[in-house]
Structure 1
């Protein structure tokens, strides 16, 4: 989020050399060339090589230090987008690695590398190395955050899942508020980067207190490790576990279900071919069966829109011409209700209705921007912030929803590939702002509103998960869906029989 302060669209004027006559343009945001007087007395247009930047808001930024204007202005959007490009590949790798090697290991690896690279970045001397480190940081974000989120969800029973799944994002909202004030106090990008990265070191010792997910251990066949963690949890919670024989029988059943799909295709292969086929199976399993495919594609569409709209609104302060620090702080305030009011909402309305509602609110608030006169700036900001509030709530609801619907054996892969769609949307957001924002400031947000409406439609493909148990295998998901269809069919048959009986009696 700090990228909003590091690469702003700054007003700039060409620093004219001695042989310059005039700058070609009087527009302080497009002075990219000047007219030079030649030896023959004529004038010719030459590209500007140095600029003076408006430092009334920021004292030093990546934009001004590396002259990211004119033919280098695309690097401003690239600095934001390359982080999400890294997140795209990180999400792809994390889904497979977390399901293979465990949630705790990937959380630890991702957090450690992210902490190292984030503390290195403020000391780098060139824009190319900055972009590379941003890419690495982007790879590590989903590696740590999504493995940790999945671990948190998998150790909670259904009655606590909604509270944990929503409240776990509340610190994000609070620190976005703080970030607005923090950016106001530290307006040099290097000092800003140093002081926001050092606190990452405080998180690393907490990794020592984490246990692996018992659900994942069971699916991977590590029953002794799962029993050890369950006994610790029972001791801490003063709970009584079922007999060990009963637990092991249940673990064996879950393990056998998880192995059914994977062993058939890999049995005849070996070496590299086997590894490649296993990786392909890991990807294909999300779209191979009918119910799993419906869930996966629906969430892909929603996560893509979430990334585009959320970050489009987050990085839109300079295009809307408002104070970036106030805009950031108010954006954080808009997220706080998502961490408090969302819990009773998803418990009473359900996950599907809640996500549909907030996608629709997002769409409505952004679509009206095209009809608001430019003079009513306060109304433009109000509607943009309403959209920010709604998309923040939708983000949390959809993330909770997806974590409940994806079975344990593919949960991190499912969330990981969904995050890939989020990062694609987030990668597009800065370029949408740069390109469409040059037409009118509200045009990019209008496009985001259309996308949010489309996302609201895709929620109808999903089943409700409010009172359902989290399933462990794709096979159990398909079986549950088939059972529900058979139950509905039987119910319809009984209804038809009753109607026929009533007709005969009449």
Structure 2
């Protein structure tokens, strides 16, 4: 059983307009949520403020409050002094003209809304990741992606014009949910539309527009100091996606796994026509797809006489499919840890700008610029050293650099910022590798679920990042660097349990993954050689394992 004839057919189709459309549409989509993911630094910044005491209250002892005060003192009738909570504040608007912090008075006993605003986006992603992943595996990448983009456009445009903090927070949570189909499903769709020889560079370029948009968003923030207009303008580029959605095609990998060979044939024929290349006859292509690609096992729904408890057990078993077999379990556990730590560190360094003595607009722009070399250099690195070694090296380097921040004297802020930017560049390299690595490790049968669940863990980490920087970092400036630096070092050590996937075609089924040794399987062979070798060596073993997996799925 060869699980990769779709890759073989894609390789026969020269790279051209079809691949450009698929990649361009999905890459533009993956960049647009950057503005909302990083919005917290401009929408709910930490602003200086003073308590505004009532001038009509003759009991006020001192109306000139110091910065950050939440109370003022009054003199009571019995000549004693009492602290009274502030209800109004004057904010320093020298940097921002209007923010959600000053507009909704997110200070003192309402200050937790600032961290909540930043975290709710990630919590929305966390909640949606497994559900959206399942839906994309069940109903298709394109359908879920298109619906996600449509909802994202609407929510993004109205997000800046909601009247109160509860409405803003609810909308932000919903935008976080839409992040999953717009970013992650688009990435899977783009990757599965590329032949294996260009998949590494495509995997990097798919996220390159995100890097560019971070710099653009910092420019928007500098020019537009009103948070409502800022979020509106930052959401407008999402309208550019609409034309591409009409021409976008479904993933041929997914169509074959679902047994929809005729539809896969039409997609491949369109790609061949657009790219001015040729394919074998329709009958031959269908025969190749049917004979070499094993569709995902289908489980009957509510068999006759099946009790509700059996149905529930079967559904619960399906939820744990990523941990059912040894190699798939190793992939899932290690990637979950990596995604958690990498995103926690990535966003943690971003949100730490408020703890440094540096202009926030310059800091965000520099963060975007530091990602440019990491995105450009990663392809030759991956081509030369594979996936595993660069991932471990970038994680260990990130940890070492961030731990160095703790040794820098407080009066050397420029050196702290330099180490933080260097750490951000290294963790960006790790982020680029892990998404590509994860999409190659998981088989097509559960790829979207696998990557989405790993992505869910990344959102747990990114949801914690604002609280680490806003509370822990505000009181102990060195603490975030220890948490982030120590975490990535642990993730780097755990990554040693994985195997390299360079020069390997994508596995389509769990059975194929478990039936061959990934550490020695077909490394360096061409797709044709790989097809011939696996078809000779693995059919009986893979078929037997497929049967065992289906038996385990039965209640």
TM over 0.5: yes
Please list the CA deviations of residues 169-200 of structure 1 after superposition, one character each: whole Å capped at 9, or x if unmatched.
11111111122222111111111111111221
Match of 2:545 in 1: none
Match of 1:325 in 2: 361
Match of 1:22 in 2: 62
Q: What is the CA–CA distance in structure 2 between the aligned matches of 1:409 and 1:268, rounded to whole Å? A: 27
Shift of 1:360: 1.1
- 1:188 pairs, out of 213, 217, 226, with 226
Q: What is the CA–CA distance in structure 2 between the aligned matches of 1:465 and 1:269, rounded to whole Å? A: 45
Q: What is the CA–CA distance in structure 2 between the aligned matches of 1:56 and 1:284, rounded to whole Å? A: 53
Q: What is the CA–CA distance in structure 2 between the aligned matches of 1:269 and 1:197, rounded to whole Å? A: 52
Shift of 1:285: 1.5
Q: What is the CA–CA distance in structure 1 between the aligned matches of 2:172 and 2:412, rounded to whole Å? A: 37
- 2:408 pairs, out of 355, 372, 378, with 372
- 1:34 pairs, out of 69, 72, 75, with 72
Q: Secondary structure at the match of 1:372?
A: coil
Instruction: Determine if the alignment matches structure 1 residue 62 to structure 2 residue 100.
Output: yes
- 2:326 pairs, out of 280, 283, 290, with 290
Shift of 1:484: 4.9
Question: Structure 2 matches for 1:113-262, cutoff 5 A?
Answer: 113-253=151-291, 256=294, 258-259=296-297, 262=298
Q: What is the CA–CA distance in structure 1 between the aligned matches of 2:333 and 2:100, rounded to whole Å? A: 38
Match of 1:502 in 2: none
Say if 2:42 and 2:99, in contact at 8 Å, map to a contact too.
Answer: yes
Instruction: Determine if the alignment matches structure 1 residue 453 to structure 2 residue 486.
Output: no
Match of 1:464 in 2: 500
The number of residues matched between the two structures is: 482
Q: Secondary structure at the match of 1:258?
A: coil
Match of 1:5 in 2: 42
Please list the CA deviations of residues 418-437 of structure 1 after superposition, one character each: whole Å capped at 9, or x if unmatched.
11011100100000112211
Shift of 1:465: 0.5
Question: Structure 2 matches for 1:265-414, cutoff 5 A?
Answer: 276=312, 279-414=315-450
Q: Secondary structure at the match of 2:432?
A: helix
- 1:81 pairs, out of 110, 119, 138, with 119
Range 36-45 or range 471-480, more displaced? 36-45
Q: What is the CA–CA distance in structure 1 between the aligned matches of 2:120 and 2:208, rounded to whole Å? A: 26
Shift of 1:451: 0.6
Q: What is the CA–CA distance in structure 2 between the aligned matches of 1:88 and 1:325, rounded to whole Å? A: 28
Q: Secondary structure at the match of 2:61?
A: strand
Distance 1:274 1:59, change over 3 A: farther
Q: What is the CA–CA distance in structure 2 between the aligned matches of 1:158 and 1:206, rounded to whole Å? A: 23
Q: What is the CA–CA distance in structure 2 between the aligned matches of 1:131 and 1:243, rounded to whole Å? A: 55
Say if 1:61 and 1:188, in contact at 8 Å, map to a contact too.
Answer: yes
Please list the CA deviations of residues 259-310 of structure 1 after superposition, one character each: whole Å capped at 9, or x if unmatched.
1xx5389867759767755643442111100000000110000000111100
Instruction: Determine if the alignment matches structure 1 residue 97 to structure 2 residue 127.
Output: no
TM-score with structure 2 setting the length: 0.83
Say if 1:405 and 1:465, in contact at 8 Å, map to a contact too.
Answer: yes
Say if 2:378 and 2:429, in contact at 8 Å, map to a contact too.
Answer: yes
Distance 1:25 1:284, change over 3 A: same
Task: Provide the aligned C-alpha RMSD in A.
Answer: 2.1
Q: What is the CA–CA distance in structure 1 between the aligned matches of 2:253 and 2:342, rounded to whole Å? A: 28
Say if 1:82 and 1:135, in contact at 8 Å, map to a contact too.
Answer: yes
Say if 2:398 and 2:488, in contact at 8 Å, map to a contact too.
Answer: yes
Q: What is the CA–CA distance in structure 2 between the aligned matches of 1:15 and 1:480, rounded to whole Å? A: 70
Q: Secondary structure at the match of 1:60?
A: coil
Distance 1:264 1:107, change over 3 A: closer
Say if 2:118 and 2:466, in contact at 8 Å, map to a contact too.
Answer: yes
Shift of 1:106: 0.7
Question: Structure 2 matches for 1:434-453, cutoff 5 A?
Answer: 434-453=470-489
Shift of 1:242: 3.2
Shift of 1:348: 0.5
Q: What is the CA–CA distance in structure 2 between the aligned matches of 1:281 and 1:410, rounded to whole Å? A: 14
Q: What is the CA–CA distance in structure 2 between the aligned matches of 1:85 and 1:378, rounded to whole Å? A: 33
Unaligned runs of 5+ in 2: 1-37, 524-555
Q: Secondary structure at the match of 1:34?
A: strand
Say if 1:166 and 1:338, in contact at 8 Å, map to a contact too.
Answer: no
Say if 1:219 and 1:254, in contact at 8 Å, map to a contact too.
Answer: no
Q: Secondary structure at the match of 2:50?
A: strand
TM-score with structure 1 setting the length: 0.91
Q: Secondary structure at the match of 2:189?
A: helix
